[in-house]
A and B are shown apart, each in its own frame.
Chain A
């Protein structure tokens, strides 16, 4: 269980005078559901972009799937999948056309594509919707198709960006059940969100604020150590009232 898929040490990213990520360190184990939680502007997206190899760090060490970033960034890209519920699908294409497009972008060949569709359908059950235009699908199904697009090339590491906000609770529960299965099968999941109900589903999470890590532990341990009932209270007590300072 101690094989690390992501290792981050003293990572810094500056944009001019602004330090977006300020000396953070953390590791993510293989098969873990790991959360990066923070308000807008906390540094979540900058961190993720560095992990994906699309933004070079100012300083610090980043290793993803054993590859060093930024030197081996090109090798990392085939190892990762990215799903954002809101932006990742073409609404005027069918579900199948979207899947074909993503498969082509990731260099999945035709034979593999069809066997992957069969494999993914076993637990995502999207076949009845394959020929529907994405724009006509309910949100819960769009979410499944978006996840499928991110899984086609069998990534070791999957990034989920606010994956279930606004989705109906039944679909949300099935979605997290699928994520748990993926994690059980050894795929590593990193979730970024500022929705605390999504934070609860993580095995461990880090709370970021103004580019720094304020806490890193399991949701239950954080609640116990801070004597709070919910992750929302944990977040509020750690980050404090400083967000609204002018």
Chain B
């Protein structure tokens, strides 16, 4: 355990690989006991950032402080207080579920008796009791992911870092994985995870939007929509192309976006009255919707300019 504060400060981190910038001047302050999501597309720098936070990689410049401790000074105690779940399966495929957990516990110097108790508890939490005697290599993708998380919980870290835990995982396993992450947070552990899936934002407390190695914004999820300057009208239709043509001709519509049979029209807040009038001329009904995390991300990366 790393004491009462447990928060993480990332100060001016820059990292290049062969002249290509992976992270540029990244600074963050992450709160204790919260779930913080690092969100961005592939190649945004998510893995590099998490690996620097967990001390697996050194930055070219800048530093990371975890509860006031630096990797360059206190790496031993920091390693004991951190858990890192990497993207690729990193357990022993030919060991069973419980053998893997036992092995990791022993690496962290845990005593046999308490270790067995802990493993029982963890298997129960993750709903993996029935699979305890199965070889790790023969588990489904979702179960492997859960086992990886458990193997990082054995030494009771105060910070758990997960690199794209839900990548390639089906929606049911994803829901279960999120229940596990939620539970870990409720035990007081600080959770940092990355994802490229914007839909997962609603399950986090705070988000860091990352693009091309830079932080676009760090914000509490509940305040995310405040960053978005447009209002959105959503219209259901069976004739998407016809409707799009009409909507895009309206003077005050800044952009449109189609999802399935729904057309979303974006307009500046101040033109709401005019847009309502204009829309009523071409459609029977529409309803206002809130911006999604993807809307905000697209806006912050300039996706609404010139639409």
Contacts and interface: CB of A to CB of B under 8 A. Distances in A.
B127 A196 contact: no
Given A40-B170, A170-B298, A244-B176, A176 B258 contact: yes
A139 B198 contact: no
Given A38-B170, A180-B240, 9 more contacts: A40-B170, A138-B43, A139-B43, A168-B44, A169-B297, A180-B258, A197-B294, A236-B172, A236-B175
Most buried by B among A38, A165, A166, A230: A166
B163 to A, nearest CB: 13
5 contacts: A139-B41, A169-B297, A173-B298, A177-B258, A197-B294
A40 B141 contact: yes
Interface of A: 38-41, 138-140, 165-171, 173, 176-177, 180, 184, 194-197, 200-203, 218-220, 230, 232, 235-236, 239-241, 243-246
B176 A173 contact: no
Contacts of A165: 196
Interface of B: 40-44, 127, 130-131, 134, 140-143, 167-168, 170-176, 196-199, 211, 236, 240-241, 257-262, 294, 297-298, 301-303
Given A165-B196, A180-B240, A195-B197, A201 B259 contact: yes
A36 B174 CA distance: 19
B265 to A, nearest CB: 14
A170 B199 contact: no
Contact of B171 (A41, A140, A194): A194
A246 B258 contact: no
Nearest to A180: B258
Given A243-B172, A244-B173, A139 B42 contact: yes
Contacts of A139: 41-43
B260 A220 contact: yes
B56 to A, nearest CB: 22
A35 to B, nearest CB: 10
